[in-house]
Structure 1
């Protein structure tokens, strides 16, 4: 089971929890269930009421309060509220100017809100409806239902909430809401379906490397399944589709980047920049770019983009402060202002290129790391946080770029890249090792001597021990580095060893593979205890791969004795 909902009364319990967290702002009516704001602006003459199936939080309930909604009617998960909920919530919240219903265009929602509206009219309460139908994926001339209502509901509720607090009438709010809907379109994609609370399994399956394009917020399949493109290409495609469908209007736009439940803030913030750049490149002015999770689909891994063309005064409505559980981002940009610039440090003087140098080692190691990056990532996911493969590959790419641009020696480029630009634990430690290995590379580009490599490996081992404290047996990269350094030292002291680098690589491989039987004592792997048993340490394997690359370059006749990199990096 991948969720932690109570077995009974999950929605009511969650509603009580929201009210508990915002005491004084929200009250809960349990039968029928609705939530009501306790702190309405005295200038408001029309109550705003919305609702829909649960599982989309913070939609609706997050905007309950001053500057937002007066009442919210939550249905069961992905199910519309029934008309009694809506009727009684509206009657309780109604003000002198009546009630405005904000309804997402789903059949159950529409019918139940319409029935509630009829009952309110029968009681003499003025009522009107704004129907949100922004979903581009369901824009079909053959559909009698019309487009679904999705994340643009947040834009409608926020703008109308601010306008209502300024004393707008029912007719004015209805017209404004209809204009905002007409100016808005959304499209969503997903890489993984939400977990069904009933079956406790994904609602649908997607093959690896694919996305569903045009998914709904209730977990509906997309209009098509596509091969997963690069994120920038995906944002470009979504932007093109939205702009093709969005009616003509002002060049100033609000862009909402919405997570569907399992998409991280890190991802959404990055997507927001990509979207902003795409809009700017097309001559539009994204004066409000708002990333966050606003309309979820339980724990679906995906995101939606919403574009709203901004008429005069709408940006100010968005930036009006609220007193609601959800604090919406309020960019300080005035309409038409350029996006905040990104400061970049002045360029440092280019280092003086070394003549010659061991560039071949860098290229061989880069090729090897590229081949086994996914293997290293999978191993690190079993014992750590899963970032080792990407960190190692990213550092090597930086080193290759540095060597290409400046002519820096291969191992010196590795040292500079890993010491200066690769974070985490292992990055700087590898940087220390590369720093000492760089000293062993002759300036004329020839092969390093066994004595120089032995001294460099021993010095790197000592530096890593001083910094991190690791010793052989701790299940770290030292378990591969120490035997390799000892092998080189022994070869240096022996008479003309046949293949000292190959022997050192073999020692490193044995040490790395032996970490599978060790219980980690340092690093993040130490946190998982016995779960790490049976898994070789990825850092130790990366050290072994480095010595294998050295042997490949400088001892090509004997290096074939070594196993393939892919062989030693899989369980």
Structure 2
């Protein structure tokens, strides 16, 4: 992030860029720095002015204009604006009914905004203030400062902006703002600190597998560091903490799912659904679930949740039209129209003729369980390898497909390789998922129904058919640095063993051939798949797909040739990044 900030006047330059991008909406005053809306609503009689340290964009500048703020005073990065900025911005934007200052509860902000308010009063301009203090992480901190002001500022500014456009008076707006603040609480978590503009490194470090709970929007450490839970458990904990902290009131809420800078929209939308479900389970009706990045902490990897108990008419204020750089209201997730998640969907009931055993004792099911165990063990290694040559999703895709296959085998009594084939062909995306599905589909045909070890000839025929299908679909050949660089030598080894009546360990030998082929891909320049786009950067990195094929043949050997399979290396050894 900090690599691309201008070396001089970065905040002023960014302000000019915002005005350039929204021509006719915003004017920039450089000395002192503030931004003013060029086209306020004609019915507005009170100006709304806010601001704070930069690095929180789109707060506050994104809410500048009709339905939002009249003026914004940006400070330097994570530093409050000077009282002169606030005073001159307010004097320039003031209307017949005065000025309302919206202040986040940080010491520098409070002092400078209050000094500006005193100067405005001295000039005879009616002025009132609203102090936003929604951060429940600092609720019990032994400090006279009180709770910090964080993402609920967005809710306050949006609702007050709509009310101001309706001609609300200074007293009415101040009272409304204070009620909104009282009805709002926020909590934030982070898995990685923001980049320091000074050092270009992380502002603080977290141990792997941990996150900070209760971080601030200026990059402050959390009030505690916790082991990173599953995201569903994390959202549940945050929801409970928020509801415990909220004052009693209406059961309808607005819920803001706010990214802290480096959290993707994909993640925020998913968190929105989890939050929606948690609220409904507690008898709280989420009228509006609003995911997006609204109050960033530069590029911190984290998110915050804000709940606001909705009084009568507040939802309509949120959905009132705006003309601001930040397009609000954003499309919102609500309970209406949400399909049930796959986990919530009821499993199909068995017909009278279905047997559907809970588990398949055959060697084929044992193969699935062994492969699942192996993939779980090396998933992170495969992910790291794929990050070096591709987009880093291979480990998760492979593990997810295998988990789906285990579920299919458990719920529907499918054979192990048949379950793998169905899971990967139907449910695993990307390039490698369906290609592995083709391989599993052909291997399933070689699995004897009585659970005995498949013969070398049966496996050779299945592996060769799988290779042929993959070649027809994707065009990959040995030497292209793909999964077939492990599959082809394994198939050749099995075919040779089928011709040699003296072969004693055909599966172990095939696994060894697959391992050699997979590891040899490190010396190849990829010609297929995403790795082909990185050119020589892929040299020295074995192909993750080829390693996954080798792991499959290792699992076959472990199940059916346990004595000779001891010659094979550990899965973690061949997949080490």
**Could you tell me the TM-score, scaled by structure 2's length?**
0.95
Q: Does the residue aligned with 1:27 lie in a helix, a strand or coil?
A: strand
Deviation (angstroms), 1:194: 0.8
- For 1:215-261, what per-residue CA distance to the aligned partner results, in whole angstroms no more than 9, with x for missing partners? 11111111111111111111111111111111111111111111111
Cα distance in 2 for partners of 1:119, 1:353 equals 78
Match of 2:385 in 1: 379
**Residue pair 1:288, 1:331 contacting (<8 A) in 2 also:** no
Deviations 1:357-376 (A, max 9, x none): 72121111111111111111
For the residues of structure 2 that align with 1:308 and 1:69, how far apart are their CA atoms? 20
* Maintained 8 Å contact 2:554/2:565: yes
* TM-aligned CA deviation for residue 569 of structure 1: 0.8
The alpha-carbon distance between structure 1 residues 100 and 189, as it changes in their structure 2 partners (threshold 3 A), is same
* 1:103-502 aligned within 5 A: 103-140=103-140, 142-330=142-330, 338-342=335-339, 358-502=364-508
Distance 1:224 1:373 in 2: 29
Task: For residues 39-81 of structure 1, give each alpha carbon's deviation from its aligned partner in whole angstroms, at most 9, with x where no partner exists.
Answer: 1110001100000000000001000000000000000000111
> Following the alignment from structure 1 to structure 2, what is the Cα–Cα distance between the partners of residues 353 and 175?
63
Alpha-carbon deviation of 1:197?
A: 0.4
User: 1:530-549 CA deviation, whole Å, 9 max, x = no partner?
Assistant: 11111111100110111111
Q: Aligned match of 1:564 in 528, 553, 570?
A: 570
The 1:81/1:332 distance shift into structure 2, 3 A limit, reads: closer
Distance 1:140 1:378 in 2: 41
SS of 2:288's partner is strand
User: How far did residue 348 of structure 1 move?
Assistant: 7.3
Higher mean alpha-carbon deviation, 351-360 vs 461-470, is at 351-360
1:200, distance to aligned residue in structure 2 (A)? 1.4
* Shift in Å, 1:21: 0.6
> Does 2:556 match 1:550?
yes
1:517 equivalent in alignment to 2:523: yes
Provide, for residues 277-334 of structure 1, a one-character-per-residue CA deviation record: whole Å limited to 9, x for no partner: 111111111111111110000011111111111110000000101001111345579x
Work out whether 1:539 is the aligned partner of 2:536.
Answer: no
Moved more, 295-304 or 353-362: 353-362
**Contact 1:64/1:325 (<8 A) preserved:** yes
Alpha-carbon offset, residue 140 of structure 1 = 3.2
Whether contact under 8 Å (2:290, 2:332) holds in the other structure is no
Distance change (3 Å), C-alpha of 1:270 and 1:423 = same
- Does the 8 Å contact 2:263/2:303 carry over to 1? yes
Q: Cα distance, 1:487 vs. partner? A: 1.0
CA distance in 1, matches of 2:467, 2:348: 30
Give, in angstroms, the shift of residue 486 of structure 1. 0.9
Which has the higher mean CA deviation after the structures are superposed, 296-305 or 234-243? 234-243
Structure 1: distance between partners of 2:53 and 2:262: 18
Distance in 1, matches of 2:76 and 2:97, equals 30
Q: Distance in 2 between matches of 1:2 and 1:570?
A: 32
Q: Distance in 1 between matches of 2:43 and 2:323?
A: 15
CA distance 1:567–1:132, change in 2 (3 Å): same
| DSSP-derived class of the 1:79 partner | coil
Judge conservation of contact 1:58–1:293 (CA < 8 Å) in 2.
yes
Deviations along 1:337-387, one digit per CA (max 9) or x if unpaired, are 853331689987978869967212111111111111111111111111111
SS of 2:554's equivalent in the other structure is helix
SS in 1 for 2:186: strand
| CA shift for structure 1 position 509 | 0.6
Q: How far did residue 3 of structure 1 move?
A: 3.4
Q: 2: CA distance between counterparts of 1:349 and 1:530?
A: 53
Q: What are the equivalent positions in structure 2 for 1:52-131 lying under 5 Å apart?
A: 52-131=52-131
Q: Which residue of 1 aligns with 2:14?
A: 14
Partners of 1:436 and 1:349 in 2: how far apart? 29
Distance in 2 between residues matched to 1:377 and 1:517, nearest whole Å: 19
5+ residue gaps in structure 2? none
CA, structure 1 residues 400+140, in 2 after alignment: closer, same or farther (shift >3 Å)? Answer: closer
Q: In 2, are the aligned partners of 1:357 and 1:443 still within 8 Å (CA)?
A: no
> How big is the shift at 1:23?
0.3
